[in-house]
Structure 1
């Protein structure tokens, strides 16, 4: 496991949270902001490759991603891995453990990640005193379900070329909305990540990505995938894109 460092200090006060500056997220009212500020217990800095949650484990904490990229996955006994989804700033992770008692998947940092730390046993106070924030948690869970529906459709019915185009278009749109890119628009994933997300062999994945590159939709680089034509990728996948609406975060 890679290095992770817990910081109990409020390095980023909620009132000055950089996520609040993004038009993608809805604003807190004063009471909500006060509650979230008390709910937050510190921050966690995680190196790329570190495991944030382990499938089957119990954790006393929930996290909101403040900076960086990660991914959720499950593994079979022989080590084969299925990546379920990717996490980015504003995403709440660990909520599943509150309901199920233990995590049903693992989460790994794809890049250096910083996380806002919340104590799981304080969560009832949110439901009891702030129904608007409780609704936000429901909204977040419903949105995750919708995204997983689209991922399952992709794996089940899209061709390998369409699957790859959809995945890269999806990651690119999410990252662009969150203003994560510094030019060029580089999605920091390896071909192995794509293979483990799409259920393809690494050889098949390599050939598929070469076809996208030949169409001048992407360019593969050492540190990830550079997107040249996001609209072309979405059109190839017959994907309409994510809804253009403000979303909540905790």
Structure 2
């Protein structure tokens, strides 16, 4: 793909999320793909880096470590994610980023990418939209942590991941999430006991269950119905025109709301 073709793609898609295929050309010329195994770090908390990272394939998470060793997971990074856009990197990153699965990624020098933005406003719009999308995710997570019980927090978290991952490419069926109970607890401010109890309920209700080390979503429709995520919010995260709501196949229990599941629109 040439730079001109790549930029034409950026202009047509306006504020939609980046696809993994776009990332290697983001700086205007192909950048080499790098590889990490599961459990490795793209960068550690406090590392001085002036680079921006793009996830081409695999799962990672951004996190912060506190003085007493506790971990707070700030974001789950999926294919298409840009990491480090909002950080200057000069005084050391406040967060680190580690892989959950084998990951393929790109690295862009900040000056090179931002120099491209100065000459290509359409790319700048896409990057700003991505930063805003990340901020909205954080605000929604804070609302969950502050006001919602464990069942709603976990349902919203899993539903959000399902919707986001659906956008970046076809999903395996059943859909598997490579997160341990500790990861979920650290992302949602819950104790492992609360997470374990809730996931036992999800297994009983045939919503989700662990198969090996991955959490498998058995019934996305049931998950959507118990989630309290707003449809407008999930559609906005996806970008206009990229997804269409589909009603869950099974009818909801008496008194429950119908919450559509996001499915990819055929291209």
| 1:175 alignment partner in structure 2 | 165
Write the mapping of 1:51-130 to structure 2, written as runs, cut at 5 A.
51-98=41-88, 101-130=91-120
Given that 1:165 and 1:212 are in contact with CA atoms closer than 8 Å, whether structure 2 keeps it comes out as no
Residue 72 of structure 1: CA displacement?
Answer: 0.9
CA distance in 2, matches of 1:191, 1:15: 45
Q: CA RMSD in A?
A: 2.9
Structure 1: gaps spanning 5 or more residues:
1-11, 28-32
Structure 2: gaps spanning 5 or more residues:
243-267
CA distance in 2, matches of 1:35, 1:116: 9
Aligned length: 227
User: Which secondary structure state, in structure 1, belongs to the residue aligned with residue 27 of structure 2?
Assistant: helix
CA distance in 1, matches of 2:138, 2:47: 23
TM-score, with normalisation over the residues of structure 1? 0.80
TM-score, with normalisation over the residues of structure 2? 0.76
Per the alignment, do residues 123 and 228 of structure 1 end up closer, same or farther by CA in structure 2, a change over 3 Å counting?
same
What do the CA deviations read for 1:91-126 (whole angstroms, capped 9, x no partner)? 111223337643121111110001122122213312
| 1:228 alignment partner in structure 2 | 218
Per the alignment, do residues 14 and 225 of structure 1 end up closer, same or farther by CA in structure 2, a change over 3 Å counting?
farther
| 2:133 alignment partner in structure 1 | 143
Per the alignment, do residues 181 and 187 of structure 1 end up closer, same or farther by CA in structure 2, a change over 3 Å counting?
same
Per the alignment, do residues 26 and 122 of structure 1 end up closer, same or farther by CA in structure 2, a change over 3 Å counting?
closer
Greater RCO (Cα-Cα under 8 Å, separation 6 or more): 1
User: Which secondary structure state, in structure 2, belongs to the residue aligned with residue 124 of structure 1?
Assistant: helix
